[in-house]
Amino acid sequence: MNQENFPTYDNIGFQNEEGRPPPYSPQHGLYPAIPRATPSYILATPNPINTHQSTAPAVPQDTAKNKEIKRCHWNRILCASVCFILVLAVLAILLWYFLYHQCALGKSCTYSGECLRKSQWCDGVKDCSNGEDESLCFRLYGGNFILESFSSRSQSWMPVCADQWDDNYGKTVCEQMGYNRENYVSSSQMSNGYSALKGFMKLMPGSDHKSLVHSQLSYSQSCETSSIGLRCMDCGESFAPFRSRIVGGSEALNGAWPWQVSLQIFGRRHLCGGSIISPYWIVSAAHCFQQYSRPWMWTVQSGDVSLSKMRFKQGNKVKKIISHEDYDPETNNNDIALLKLKTPLTFSETVKPVCLPNMGMEFSAGQPAWITGWGALRTSGRSPDVLHQAEVTIYSREICNKRAILNGAVTESMVCAGELNGGVDSCQGDSGGPLVVRKADVWWLAGDTSWGIECALKNKPGVYGNVTHFLDWIFWQMQIE
């Protein structure tokens, strides 16, 4: 947390002291222009007659012209053939690009590249070699955790009807989404509201909760009971009071931010922060692991606001580090990573997950949010022993991308938050830590601390990974690991 204007950067893994260029540069044409071949014409000149020397008989003029005509004819054929072959090559490349890379006739498997018809997604048959087409077929919607299933028939997301539903189906669906069955909370019946106009996905007679649940759902215009609210895990609960307004930052109390963890290198030095989303999974920033990329180097400490007290705990070893495959260290685009632990965290009042945002939730401009971390209290200054907290404001991407602020560097994979007047910001050592928003008495993970220009400068708010943007990626990684 930072409240002073000193020149440094808020990110321990990436520094930007000269400002940031726009994240993308314009592309030039894909194909260079093909130069036209200029045919060469050879003029036949008859030899002069020399009566004093014996010479070969002169070639008749009409015969030379015939040879020249034939030569020009073959030149034209060769030129036309080359042009034809080049045109065919260009058409072949374009056809491949649109049919396979762009998958114009349907939807492509993200990781294996197969091109499927849209109706093949979530139809109960695994067509992608890795099963991706049947993996992201459920989602939770809105602050009430309404369960929705993707309909291959209508190509849309629809609420699931509670008819014939029980907790066994709820546990199976949570497991298919990437959660553990033992963390399951409950299924509840929700008011239909808007969903009554869309229709429902309803369990077919004879369904079995041990199989893929979405393959046993069919469209129904009506639902005798109501739609389902599904809680796969208790999350987003704080067990200690937090102050309603903090200028600059202050020390946090134990239990106020129970999802905050310290990521320590070789079990000794705090390097980055992270957020608990399940007993096995931590969300952090990809740039934290560019230099120290081996899982065995890292230890996750949790359960206290004091770093010195946590040093006496064993901590949790990291089994795997999954940085986003499209992370760009030049622009910090897609700056998110997941850590899978070797052993699960034991939840308590001081160790608790934060909620991943559900689809349909918007963290709008002007909304207050909170940042926490053990980062430096001033630019290039000391880091505190006790976790610090600060309230910030979320700004729109349009505001942050103004020339005088962050000059177009904030992409769709980022959230911009801070105070345009300066004085409140993340700083060195806060990287990977949470940006959280409170809605409906629940704390939601809106972002992971990514980058900034120095710390707490005027018109230089901090930038965070946009967790909502990465939901499919997060749930996919949780399912396959």
Integer Cα distance of 185 and 198 in angstroms: 27
First to last CA, the chain: 34
Distance, CA of 109 to CA of 118 (rounded, Å): 11
- Measured at the alpha carbon of residue 428, what is the angle toward residues 427 and 429, in degrees to the nearest 5? 110
Rounded CA-CA distance 244/190 in Å is 31
User: Residue 138 forms beta bridges with which residues?
Assistant: 149
Q: Tokens 């404001």 — which residue?
A: 393
State the amino acid at position 72 in one-letter form: C
Q: Would you name the residues annotated as active-site residues?
A: 287, 335, 431
By the 10 Å C-beta count (0-12 exposed, 13-18 middle, 19+ buried), 92 is classed as exposed
The residue type of 46 is P
Which of 394, 462, 372 minimizes the C-alpha distance to 422?
Answer: 462
Those residues whose C-beta lies under 8 Å from the C-beta of residue 71, and which sit 6 or more positions away, are 42
Q: Where are the beta strands (DSSP E) in 205-328?
A: 217-220, 227-231, 250-251, 260-265, 269-276, 281-284, 298-301, 316-323
For the range 239-245, what are the long-range contacts, defined as Cβ-Cβ under 8 Å and sequence gap of 24 or more? 239/349, 239/350, 239/352, 242/370, 242/389, 245/391
Tally of CB atoms within 10 A around 159: 26
Place of tokens 């601390």: 449
Q: Is the CB of residue 315 less than 8 Å from the CB of residue 299? A: yes
Residue 295 tokens read as 């899982």
Q: Are 450 and 431 in contact (CB under 8 A)?
A: yes
Please, are residues 258 and 415 in contact by the beta-carbon 8 Å criterion?
no
Distance of CA 154 to the CA centre of its chain: 26
Give the strand pairing for 434-439 and 442-451: antiparallel
